[in-house]
Chain A
Amino acid sequence: MIRRMLAVWHARNVEFLRDRATLGWNILVPIGLVVALALIFGGPERPLFKVGVLHSGASIQTAMHPFLATHYIEFFTVSDETDAIRKVGRHQIDLLLDLRTTPRYWVNTDSPKGYVVEKLLLQSDPGLKREAVSGQAVRYVDWLLPGILGMNMMFSCLFGVGWVVVRYRKSGFLKRLRATPLRAIEFISAQVLSRLIIIMIVMVFVFWALSLVVHFRMEGSPLLLFLVALMGAISMIAIGLFIAARFSSEELASGILNAITWPMMLLSGVWFSLEGSANWLQWLAKIFPLTQMLDAARAIMLDGAGFAQIAPQLLYLAISGVLFMLLGAALFRWRAD
């Protein structure tokens, strides 16, 4: 059994590695993402500090308050107080100054930049009223990075396996394999293994490359993150195989894969958090393995979560992976009809 599986695994690897176009695409996309992220988030932050100002004038005038004359601070007008306070909490604004009535300010007590800029402010006006905000800095890039990598993995898992199996079936290659002692579960395991190893190598490489150009947050254990990615990949590859279990039309398979990947991409919190959206939507999103994987990855990267905290997600990914693989094997069809 192992020998048959390894034979199929090896042949699939050779096919993948010789297919320069596909290989290039699989490496270029994540690298393109690295470069894009580096360009957007990797550059030096020009002003040292960002201070939001709530005021009733047309624009910020230095006459409004002596602090506004300080150099190397970017002062900008904000109008939504609640939003601005939230941004202070997230370290997106270092300090928020309210000059509308009695001057007061908000600062994040956990933020080093907030601490410094507060000192500067109190030098120019020691009597100001302080409103404290707390919360750890989460830059958008820290939020987005696991999402983008996860999304890239999802496409690679679902299309990389689903599409290939459908093509094999359509071309009659599966039918030829059917005439050998190879069993469906052996064939499927070989496909999972081949794609899994390729994806994990690409992901580790991209993650390492990203760590060189974008200084993202990594609070938890990289090994645990690797485990999460591994389980997520298994689960999503299994879904790809499940979808590809019967179809022999590439168009149909592509349509169905799209119908699954797009909601996952939109609802799994790749680009934005679903906090605050309807309850049923959040529940729906929880079904997707991508959501579970991203939740766990973000918990590790942003909050330094340990194994115990992400165990539910790992369990979900493992169960869904095994379930879809077994379903895929049970429904598997060798012939195109």
Chain B
Amino acid sequence: MPAILEARNLVKHYGAIVAVDGVSFGVDAGTCFGLLGPNGAGKTTTVEMIEGILPATSGEVFYRGEPAGDRFRAEAGIQFQKTALQEFLTVRECLTLFRNLYPRGLSVDEVIRICALEKLEDRDNRKLSGGQQQRLLLAIALVNDPEILFLDEPTTGLDPQARHNFWDLVRAVKASNKTVILTTHYMEEAYFLCDRIAIMDHGRIIAMGSPLQLLQEHFEDVILEMPREDFTLDPSSVPFQLLAGSEQIEISTASVDATLRYLMDAGVSLKHLRIRPRNLEDLFLELTGKELRA
């Protein structure tokens, strides 16, 4: 099946600064694709070029095999990172405004139901909490019953509960066979929602694949974590790799048995030891040499 959306060699220059440096990827219909990276990696610039909001310095975007145009605009739903709506309009009025800009779509009542805005529909949009505001923006992105939905860091700044609520909404949207393109700097979010991810840094994609596939490609090891005070050995003399930068001691090993045996023989307490698989944060650190939210 051909990709519903394809970006080919997108480049964006701001004067001498190269914000996006040759990004290409394809997204299959009905999947969730995540662009992952730290702030300033070029994620938002990339999606805004795809959305047609920002002119690309060079490169092309194809929607259903054709250069993205009017059809794309009618079938795409977009949630920007930050959007102020018109002042003094209620939730329902905002939705009605946007609904009327599209030839077809869901009814306002339906998007209100999907995004659980029933109790807020008469409230001034400026008086919503962060999570409620994001739900309204998602509802606006859904009014045209889009085939493809763009979410640009939709949960940044939300508390954990609001974030999980939002994820449930996105999963419900995905379940109705929509294509979702998500940018985030939360690895957990990407892991939870995305079928495929592209990791970006300095305007380039440095790795792409399904989260599991990427982890398997890059890591054969697991991580043993323990508090620093429990680790009584000289870090320079141990026969395994210690990871830097964390408050905890993190031991990377492909052979858990041998490592545990070594630690027990050396008299290290394993009381607080935890074993965890490699995650996307580790992958990012591995690929770029820096922490994601540094």
Using CB atoms and an 8 Å cutoff, list the residues of chain A in contact with chain B: 3-4, 6-8, 10-12, 14-15, 18-19, 168, 171-173, 175-182, 334-335
A11-B89, A14-B89, A19-B87 given as contacts; is B103 within 8 A of A175 (CB)? no
A172-B80, A181-B101, A181-B102 given as contacts; is B93 within 8 A of A11 (CB)? yes
A173-B85, A173-B86 given as contacts; is B102 within 8 A of A180 (CB)? yes
Question: Which residues on the B side are within 8 Å of A3 (C-beta)?
Answer: 100
Q: Decide: B88 and A19 in contact? CB cutoff 8 A.
A: yes
Measured CA separation A175–B140 after assembly (Å):
13
Given contacts A172-B80, A179-B53, A181-B74, 13 further A-B contacts (CB under 8 A): A3-B100, A11-B89, A11-B97, A15-B87, A15-B89, A171-B83, A172-B83, A172-B84, A176-B85, A176-B140, A179-B76, A181-B103, A335-B53
Question: Which residues on the B side are within 8 Å of A15 (C-beta)?
Answer: 86-89
Which B residue's beta carbon lies closest to that of A182? B101
CB distance from A19 to the nearest CB of B (A): 6
Q: Decide: B51 and A12 in contact? CB cutoff 8 A.
A: no
Which B residue's beta carbon lies closest to that of A178? B53
* Chain A at the B interface: SS class: helix
A14-B89, A335-B53 given as contacts; is B101 within 8 A of A180 (CB)? yes
Determine if B96 is an interface residue (Cβ-Cβ < 8 Å).
yes
Question: Which residues on the A side are within 8 Å of B87 (C-beta)?
Answer: 15, 19
Q: Decide: A179 and B78 in contact? CB cutoff 8 A.
A: yes
- Fill in one digit per residue for B140-169: 1 if any A CB lies within 8 Å of its CB, else 0: 100010000000000000000000000000
CB distance from B79 to the nearest CB of A (A): 9
* Best-surrounded residue of B74, B78, B87, B98 (most CB of chain A within 10 A): B87
CB distance from B78 to the nearest CB of A (A): 4
Which B residue's beta carbon lies closest to that of A173? B84
Measured CA separation A224–B252 after assembly (Å):
86
Among B72-122, those with CB < 8 Å from A are: 73-74, 76, 78, 80, 82-89, 93, 96-98, 100-103
Using CB atoms and an 8 Å cutoff, list the residues of chain B in contact with chain A: 51-54, 70, 73-74, 76, 78, 80, 82-89, 93, 96-98, 100-103, 140, 144
CB distance from A75 to the nearest CB of B (A): 60
Q: Decide: B85 and A7 in contact? CB cutoff 8 A.
A: no
Measured CA separation A180–B89 after assembly (Å):
18
Q: Decide: B80 and A175 in contact? CB cutoff 8 A.
A: yes
Measured CA separation A12–B85 after assembly (Å):
11
- The answer, among A7, A12, A334, A335, for a CB contact under 8 Å with B101, is A7
25 CB-based A-B contacts, threshold 8 Å: A4-B101, A7-B96, A7-B100, A11-B93, A12-B86, A14-B89, A14-B93, A15-B86, A15-B88, A15-B89, A171-B83, A172-B82, A172-B84, A173-B85, A173-B86, A176-B85, A176-B140, A177-B101, A179-B73, A181-B70, A181-B73, A181-B101, A181-B102, A334-B53, A335-B54
A-B interface, 10 closest residue pairs, ranked by CB to CB distance from nearest: A7-B100, A171-B84, A18-B88, A179-B78, A180-B101, A11-B97, A176-B83, A15-B88, A172-B83, A4-B101
Question: Which residues on the A side are within 8 Å of B76 (C-beta)?
Answer: 179
A15-B87, A19-B88 given as contacts; is B97 within 8 A of A7 (CB)? yes
Question: Which residues on the B side are within 8 Å of A175 (C-beta)?
Answer: 53, 80, 83
CB distance from B123 to the nearest CB of A (A): 13
Q: Decide: A180 and B80 in contact? CB cutoff 8 A.
A: no
Which A residue's beta carbon lies closest to that of B85? A173
Measured CA separation A18–B51 after assembly (Å):
33
CB distance from B274 to the nearest CB of A (A): 43
Question: Which residues on the B side are within 8 Å of A7 (C-beta)?
Answer: 96-97, 100-101
Question: Which residues on the A side are within 8 Å of B88 (C-beta)?
Answer: 14-15, 18-19
- The answer, among B73, B85, B86, B93, for a CB contact under 8 Å with A180, is B73
